[in-house]
Structure 1
Amino acid sequence: MRKIIQFPLVWMFAGAFILVVFGSIFSRIFIGSDGFISIVLALAGGVLSIAIYWLIMRFLAGQRNVEEIHRKRAGTETIFGAFVGLIFIGVSVGVIVLLGGYTFTWSTEHSITPIFALAISAAIVEELVFRGLFLQAMERLIGSWIALAVTSLFFGLAHLANPGATIWSSIAIFIEAGVLLGAGFLWRRNLWFVMGLHFAWNAFEGMLGIPVSGMALDGLFEVQMTGSTLLTGGSFGLEASIVPMIVSLLIAIPMLINAYRNGNIISKKRKSSNSLHPPPII
């Protein structure tokens, strides 16, 4: 029974089910709340999700040291990831503005607390599931490179249910989000970095008034889009634009090169060894 439970696909799907159900229940609580309390509840839900993830990896996956969420690195890695996320969105939006795709006007009706609450919840739960469970489980079976491709594809397909989603938007998310966030995890070998990146991405985009993966939010600005949807992303938002696809690859490729040089890539030949988790890069 222990061998069955500790088989990667078993704890991957079991853990994902538990986290998604818990995340859905808790999101209903903070979405129905007003003001700053929604952020507090989102943070509380995030902390509990991380605790559940630790239990899953510790007792189902048989991972003695859950290094990817070690609290010693939490602060610095989260800030570092958020900084990279701000650069990513800032450069992407700046290029589109220069090309005449976006213009911004100050919004008189805005509320940033729901944006932050949603960004916190999405960043934590999605990274625990996709980079924490899926990517690491797949690595044990097929190695890092194929695991990165497969989990990135899953991440793109998961966003097909979003408002205004198309096959193109899922392909775009597969490249710009799946590959970038997966590369960030392989490089840093911790979830704090990708959580920070993911949070800053969604929060900054939402504050600018740009739809976040199809979800329109009342940000600090109202955005007017001009020109091809290939440039602006249309109603789905920045994620469906070709600009962040290019920018994300310019960031992800150096990450993957460093991950390989630092020995953080698990090859298929190594997947059966006892050393399944390379030492973290501080």
Structure 2
Amino acid sequence: MRKTNTPNNETLSGKRTSAFVAFFQFPLSWMLTGALGIILANVTFNLLSEDLNALASILLTLVGSAVVIVIYWLAMKFVARRAVPELPFQRRAVSEIIFGAIVGIIFILVSTSLIALFGGYSFKWSIENASSVVWPIITTSLGAAFVEELIFRGLAFQAIEKIGGSWIALTLTSLFFGIAHLGNPGATIWGALSITIEAGVLLGAAFLWRRNVWFIISLHFFWNTIEGLSGIPVSGHPSPGLFTVEVTGPALLTGGQFGLEASIIPVIISLLISIPMLIFAHRKGHLISLRQNSV
């Protein structure tokens, strides 16, 4: 009698397991898995923070930020099954946070100062109890920086880069970032385009240069925080800051209702910062080409 070769249960189980692992190791799969986990955690903590006082809210936001960092690390480590060098927890994290803060603060202060110099903004101190303004702005900025950077630069950028290389990743994540802001108050096509350039390209270039999540989170956080404390709308969201801002002149200069991000000034400055970052990224060998991915 002829003996037929039939796969046993262990072989079939092994194939199913391999197919399951391969599915989640595909870049878009681990990108969506990680993003879904971060979004669900963010929604949950936002609901929990309702009706809390300032101190409790900032503490809960810190816990929430730690949770989304853990979710990101778990998605990369156990779903994508890759190393996570962009998220160091040693002393380098502190230096990158400080460096990101310096870049973010300089970017906003220079942009704001130039708009004021050209007569677009004038500021007047308006708050007696500063803590009533400072803590809510820090809370909002902190949550946005962690969630947006982990999703757009941490997950989406690296997933697309794995498939199409660094330039396609930079282009697509910048476009997605601009489109994501179209639903904000006062948003226009120009506002979305300006966000695409000054935030999408700048933060993407910053990630390519440093290859460090802490750097871009810090840059994003201090950008939004300084802008909010100045009383300027943050991407269309009104900010009751420490100052009352009188806006005069064309929207192309001031950004209009959308705020500073829709001004031509920070768009130009962001490009002046992004280009050197991309040059440094290239010199460091941080740019991945499509040819490298196909090898």
- Please confirm whether the aligned pair reaches a TM-score higher than 0.5, indicating the same fold: yes
Q: Which residue of 2 aligns with 1:212?
A: 234
Q: CA deviation at 1:132?
A: 0.3
Q: Which residue of 2 aligns with 1:22?
A: 41
Match of 1:70 among 88, 104, 109: 88
User: How many positions carry a matched residue from both structures?
Assistant: 272
Report matched runs for 1:143-222 at 5 Å: 143-222=165-244
Q: CA deviation at 1:213?
A: 0.4
TM-score by length of 2: 0.90
CA distance in 2, matches of 1:32, 1:88: 34
CA distance in 1, matches of 2:49, 2:261: 25
Q: CA deviation at 1:31?
A: 4.8
Match of 2:63 among 40, 44, 48: 44
Change (3 A) 1:147 1:223: same
1:30 and 1:117 in contact (8 A); partners too: no
Select between 134-143 and 101-110 the one with higher mean Cα deviation.
Answer: 101-110
2:41 and 2:67 in contact (8 A); partners too: no
- Find out whether 1:134 has 2:156 as its counterpart: yes
- Find out whether 1:61 has 2:54 as its counterpart: no
Q: Which residue of 2 aligns with 1:248?
A: 270
Unaligned runs of 5+ in 2: 1-19
2:228 and 2:239 in contact (8 A); partners too: yes
CA distance in 2, matches of 1:256, 1:28: 39
- Find out whether 1:81 has 2:100 as its counterpart: yes
Q: Please tell me the residue identity of whatever aligns with 2:87.
A: I
CA distance in 1, matches of 2:43, 2:165: 31
Q: Please tell me the residue identity of whatever aligns with 2:183.
A: A
1:160 and 1:166 in contact (8 A); partners too: yes
Deviating above 4 A after TM superposition, structure 1's stretches of 4 or more consecutive aligned residues are none
Q: RMSD across aligned C-alpha pairs, in angstroms? A: 1.1
Whichever of the two has the greater Rg, that structure is: 2
* Alpha-carbon displacement from aligned partner over 1:28-84 (angstroms, at most 9, x marks no partner): 333532222221111110011000100000111111x21111111211101110110
Q: Which residue of 1 aligns with 2:8?
A: none
TM-score by length of 1: 0.94
- Find out whether 1:3 has 2:22 as its counterpart: yes
Unaligned runs of 5+ in 1: 274-282
